[in-house]
Amino acid sequence: MKLLEGKVAIITGASRGIGKGIAEVFAKNGANVAFTYSSSVESAQALETELNALGIKAKGYKSNAADFNEAQTFVDAVLADFGTVDILINNAGITKDNLLMRMSEADFDQVIDVNLKSVFNMTKAIQKTFLKQRSGSIINISSVVGVSGNAGQTNYAASKAGAIGFTKSVALELGSRNIRCNAIAPGFIETEMTAKLSEDVVKGWREGIPLKRGGTTEDVANACLFLASDMSAYITGQVLNVCGGMLT
């Protein structure tokens, strides 16, 4: 039995990294997948082909979740193409790291828009559908940095902490309609983004983690799978740290 058989999932920012990992695990578990990408058309097309080969329906959409109107247009297109939506994964995210004294207003605003405002935009756009069907699982990809903070990432940490506050509030608002909202806080996950770091930096990260390794995109995706499925039917308003014990 596939855990998400016949369900429709929206995943923002899925052409690479954690979003791609979630899309792959969801498709293998029977979910039809609608995903957004910002610029990498080739990666998006490759993912669409890969997912469809698994016998489910998958489609990529070039859409900016940070834009309120684009988010609504995207959700409307998915509903027209797929008929319904059962799961929303707010994963789109960027970093513009710098010490506060060197951080520009533009770098602060852009990170807040992509990482936090997109969560509001997408949740608002799908809310009516979830309310009508009296079901839905919303999963917001936060970060351990949103829980503990991190020097050089005031913008990113603020956006990810904001996503946690948003998650808990939505869980309280929509719980009576059987709509669940949870957050996942990944730790050091090894993706294309971290591949650019020097081996010494990565080694330092790994040594500071109780499980002594970086996480994989599949580690995060499996946590999403649990929260998206009926296995977690009585779980809402929670933050699940997928971090190898970085936060205890």
Using CA atoms, how far apart are residues 16 and 5, in angstroms rounded to an integer?
A: 23
Per-position DSSP letters for 28-80, written without gaps between them: HTT-EEEEEESS-HHHHHHHHHHHHTTTS-EEEEE--TTSHHHHHHHHHHHHH
Q: Extract the tokens encoding 229.
A: 């499925």
Catalytic residue among 37, 61, 156, 234: 156
- The amino acid that residue 65 corresponds to is A
The reply to whether 156 belongs to the active site is: yes
**CA R_g for the chain:** 17
The answer to whether 80 and 86 have CB atoms below 8 angstroms apart is no
Give the Cα separation of 10 and 245 in Å (integer): 29
Query: CA-to-CA distance for 57 and 94, rounded, in angstroms?
Result: 27
Within the chain, what is the greatest distance between any pair of CA atoms?
53
Q: Which residues are catalytic?
A: 156
